[in-house]
Amino acid sequence: MKNQKTSGYIKILSISSSIIAIYIVAQLFTFSVEPNFIQKSVPTFKDSYSIFSLKIPEGINFAGEKIPYEKHWVKESLDRELLINTYWQSQTLLTIKRANRYFPIIEPILKKQGIPDDFKYLAVIESGLMPRAVSPAGAAGLWQFMSSTANEYGLEVNSEVDERYHVQKSTEAACKYLKKSYDSYQNWSLVAASYNAGKAGINKQLNLQQANDYYDLLLGEETGRYVYRIIALKEILSNPISYGFYVDEEDMYQKLKTETLIVDGSISNIADFAKSMDISYKELKDLNPWLRENVLTNSRKKAYAIDLPLKIASSEKLEPIYAPTETVVPNNISGSEVPLNIKTPGLQLK
């Protein structure tokens, strides 16, 4: 009888132990898997990142001229440039910021010279709005002039002074080229293409292909994309929010408030000159990238306009500071403010 009771106790203990063991194992499996609500609260890469195709806006034009994007190759070429420049976010974002500084300089010059406002976007694709940009071929400045072409259109280019880097003067020279080209073509798209390929190159293809329109020309990769790139940048920079670009005003590159010091003498050491103005050599050269060396010989006594920060140009520190044979002669200080306000792979800064 006693053995039976003992056996019964053992069975009950065994069953209880099994139940407890099963419960413990079940709990381990239960808590080894995250609750479903936690999984759903963590978005995956697929859920949180999307890339969209773009719609080409109706009525888009270049310099007031209709773009025939009913032609499939025109629509696809423009689509390509819109996609590239929308999703090359860092470069386009930088361009938006720089445009706030440089467009207010470029726009009034274009208007004064009778050039359509859309040509400011030509400067965008030429240099990325970087005044020191230099191409592998040697084209320089905001408008990427070769030295020979710069001389032809009135810019001074030598080892000490290179006005291809002068924002205002190079813009004026670009306007001269564009006006002359328009006299030949009477078509702004061909004018823009000729800025890239040269008038001789465009004329050759027009004759060879018996065409009279940019959009009907079969051209090389660079010139074939050139006008479409201008149009795409125009569209994105004119409507940045529509393409996902949000830039606070405080993040824009702002106008640089300057005044002009007229120098018609020599500067024997530009670093010393900058120091005498209580600014750094770098700041002076940033405001005047057309000054290429640490000296301005100026043997012809030409009057050069040097931009200085507004607070410096307005101070009392503008008397001659060198020996008479090496004197800076500031014979005029402009009272007007000259606001500096407001690529393509392969460009360098110099």
The class level of CATH for 61-251 reads: mainly alpha
Residues (pLDDT < 50) of the chain are 2, 31-33, 37-39, 316-349
**What pLDDT shows up at residue 350?**
53
**What pLDDT shows up at residue 206?**
97
C-alpha–C-alpha distance, residues 259 and 273, integer Å: 16
Q: 107-137: string of b/e by CB count within 10 Å (b at 16+)?
A: eebbeeeebbebbbbbbbbbbbbbbbbbbee
Domain regions of the chain by residue span: 2-41, 61-251, 258-337
**What pLDDT shows up at residue 320?**
37
pTM check: above 0.75: yes
**What pLDDT shows up at residue 319?**
42
Helices (H) and strands (E) in the chain, counts: 14, 7
Backbone angles phi and psi of 134, in degrees to 5: -135, 130
**What pLDDT shows up at residue 255?**
86
**What pLDDT shows up at residue 339?**
29
Look at residue 305 and give its three-state secondary structure. strand
* Tokens (6 digits) for 296: 């301005």
